[in-house]
């Protein structure tokens, strides 16, 4: 039996236990929890369960590095009963409004900043912060769940959110096992993940892939011609087989790499489009964290020589 399948069976048993447990009585109207990104919203929803209304501020395909809140966005933030954001400057242009929400005394949590700094990767753009793309390692992302539960206890003192935390841990453990299994067969020479911007360092560290990117951690600056030329040289020297575009980043630089490599006699394939700073369309499988990561893992494995099943972990791609 595949390791991720065995873990999945235990996860289903855990989920069944949760569904069989009588829900706690509602204590008035459901509080509204506002998350900045889809990844944070999915995590909060998994911990909170049905007793809360969980909303997401930054929509599908929108780059949080560049997001500027409108007046309506600010009003939503200030009305919410609690606010959850990623932190480490992912939402760099929202600092002022997040500080205003915190000053009003409402619960507010930067989920990625709850992890020990020694577990995180440095941020060359902002020395005071870490690399914010923590969700790219499912095991690290699961470790953010207990802090979400503690914050929810400020709204519902005494309510037990441990079952939601455990369900997330089991589900992401299965996702991690799947990634390790389907990425392991990629040949050593092909274990280079070339992406539009530097969002996959945690992913690469977890699954032993070398990560190269055209842009840095933030997408605020365009890739320079010098960066493109240096990356083309690397592609030719290392015979890198594929490059990956990202759903929330324009693919101009990726296309320039393909053309530049081709001009030097090196065929560079488009490996696919990955979800980096944004999930898929709400209501779809890739509009969930598990679906987003399943898509990424399966796409990368297929393009670089791994052995993923045709429709991914849950047969939903």
Per-residue pLDDT of the chain (317 residues; tens, 9 = 90+): 466 765 555 554 444 444 433 344 445 689 999 999 999 999 999 999 999 999 999 999 998 988 999 999 999 999 999 999 999 999 988 988 998 888 999 999 999 999 999 999 999 888 899 999 999 999 999 999 999 999 999 999 999 999 999 999 999 999 999 999 999 999 999 999 999 888 999 999 999 999 998 875 554 455 678 888 888 999 999 999 999 999 988 888 899 999 999 999 999 999 999 999 999 999 999 999 999 999 999 999 999 999 999 999 999 99
Nearest partner of 214 among 272, 271, 256, 277, judged by Cα: 256
pLDDT of residue 181: 98
pLDDT of residue 228: 86
Instruction: State the DSSP string of 212-266.
Output: EEEE-SSSSSPPPHHHHHHHHHHHHHHT--EEEEETTB-SHHHHHHHHHHHHTT-
155 and 82 in contact (C-beta within 8 Å)? Answer: yes
Model pTM? 0.90
CA distance 213 to 48: 35
pLDDT of residue 144: 98
For the chain, the 3-state helix, strand and coil shares in percent, each to the nearest 5, are 50, 15, 40
pLDDT of residue 21: 37
pLDDT of residue 196: 84
pLDDT of residue 198: 86
309 and 315 in contact (C-beta within 8 Å)? Answer: yes
């Amino acid at each position: 039996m595949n390791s991720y399948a065995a873990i999945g069976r235990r996860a289903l048993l855990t989920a069944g236990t949760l569904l069989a447990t009588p829900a706690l009585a509602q204590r008035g109207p459901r509080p509204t929890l506002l998350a900045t990104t889809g990844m944070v919203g999915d995590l909060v929803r998994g911990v909170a369960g049905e007793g809360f209304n969980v909303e997401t501020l930054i929509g599908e395909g929108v780059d949080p590095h560049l997001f500027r809140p409108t007046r309506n966005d600010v009003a939503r933030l200030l009305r919410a009963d609690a606010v959850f954001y990623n932190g480490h400057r992912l939402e760099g242009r929202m600092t002022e409004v997040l500080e205003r929400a915190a000053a009003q005394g409402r619960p507010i949590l930067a989920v990625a900043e709850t992890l020990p700094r020694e577990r995180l990767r440095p941020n060359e753009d902002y020395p005071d912060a870490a690399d914010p793309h923590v969700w790219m390692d499912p095991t690290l992302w699961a470790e953010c769940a207990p802090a979400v539960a503690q914050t929810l206890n400020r709204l519902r003192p005494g309510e037990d959110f441990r079952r939601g935390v455990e369900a997330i841990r089991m589900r992401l453990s299965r996702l991690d096992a799947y990634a390790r299994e389907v990425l392991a067969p990629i040949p050593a020479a092909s274990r280079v993940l070339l992406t539009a911007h530097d969002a996959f360092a945690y992913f690469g560290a977890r699954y032993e892939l070398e990560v190269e990117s055209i842009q840095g951690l933030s997408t605020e600056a365009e890739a320079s011609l010098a960066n493109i030329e240096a990356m083309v040289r690397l592609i030719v020297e290392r015979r890198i087989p594929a490059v990956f575009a990202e759903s929330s980043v324009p693919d101009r630089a990726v296309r320039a790499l393909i053309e530049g490599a081709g001009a030097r006699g090196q065929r560079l394939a488009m490996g696919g489009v990955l979800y980096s700073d944004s999930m898929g369309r709400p209501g779809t499988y890739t509009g969930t964290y598990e679906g987003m990561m399943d898509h990424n893992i399966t796409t990368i494995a297929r393009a670089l020589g791994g052995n993923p099943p045709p429709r991914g972990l849950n047969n939903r791609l």
